[in-house]
Amino acid sequence: MVNMKNLYLYHIIYESMTACLKQFICLLILLSPHIAIANEVLPPKKVNWPFEGAFGTVDRKAAQRGFQVYKEVCAACHGLYNLYYRNLKDLGFSDAEIKEIAKSYTIQDGPNDLGEMFERAALPSDHFSRPYPNEQAARAANNGAYPPDLSLIIKARSNGANYLYSLLTGYTNPPDHFKLMTGLHYNPYFPGSQLAMPAPLTDGQVSYIDGTEASVEQMAMDVTNFLQWAAEPEMENRKSLGLKVILFLVVFTIFFVISKNRIWQNVK
User: Which residue numbers belong to the known binding site?
Assistant: 74, 77-78, 197
Nearest CA to 143 out of 85, 184, 189, 179 is that of: 184
Q: Which is nearer to ligand HEC, 124 or 225 (CB)?
A: 225
Closest approach of ligand HEC to the CB of residue 150, in Å: 6
| Cβ 199 vs Cβ 207: under 8 Å | no
- H-type helices in 88-147, by residue range? 95-103, 135-141
Q: Does 122 bind ligand HEC (CB under 6 A)?
A: no
Closest approach of ligand HEC to the CB of residue 198, in Å: 6
| Cβ 198 vs Cβ 141: under 8 Å | no
Q: Which is nearer to ligand HEC, 77 or 98 (CB)?
A: 77
Contacts of 181 (CB under 8 A, 6+ apart): 194
Q: Which is nearer to ligand HEC, 147 or 170 (CB)?
A: 147
CA–CA separation, 59 and 46 (whole Å) = 18
Angle at 69 between CA 154 and CA 193, to 5 degrees: 50
Closest approach of ligand HEC to the CB of residue 129, in Å: 15
Q: Which is nearer to ligand HEC, 124 or 221 (CB)?
A: 221
The CB-side HSE value for 254 (13 A sphere, CA atoms) comes to: 5
Q: Does 223 bind ligand HEC (CB under 6 A)?
A: yes
Binder of ligand HEC out of 152, 196, 216, 235 (CB under 6 A):
196
Selected range binding ligand HEC among 42-50, 102-110, 194-202, 230-238, rule: CB under 6 A? 194-202
The distance in angstroms from the start CA to the end CA of the chain is 89
Binding map of ligand HEC across residues 137-176, x = CB under 6 A, - = no contact: -----x--x-xx----x---x------x---x--------
Binding residues for heme c: 74, 77-78, 197
CA–CA separation, 36 and 177 (whole Å) = 12
Query: Residue 185: in which H helix or E strand, if any?
Result: strand 185-186
Provide the β-strand partners of residue 106: 121
Angle at 235 between CA 158 and CA 165, to 5 degrees: 40
Q: Which is nearer to ligand HEC, 124 or 165 (CB)?
A: 165
Q: Does 76 bind ligand HEC (CB under 6 A)?
A: yes
Closest approach of ligand HEC to the CB of residue 113, in Å: 38
Q: Which is nearer to ligand HEC, 86 or 205 (CB)?
A: 205
Selected range binding ligand HEC among 24-32, 52-60, 191-199, 245-253, rule: CB under 6 A? 191-199
Q: Does 65 bind ligand HEC (CB under 6 A)?
A: no
Q: Which is nearer to ligand HEC, 61 or 185 (CB)?
A: 185
| Cβ 172 vs Cβ 178: under 8 Å | no
Site for ligand HEC in 77-96 (CB under 6 A): 77-78
Residue 13 CB coordination number (10 Å): 10
List residues near ligand HEC by CB under 6 A: 69, 73-74, 76-78, 142, 145, 147-148, 153, 157, 164, 168, 195-197, 200-201, 223
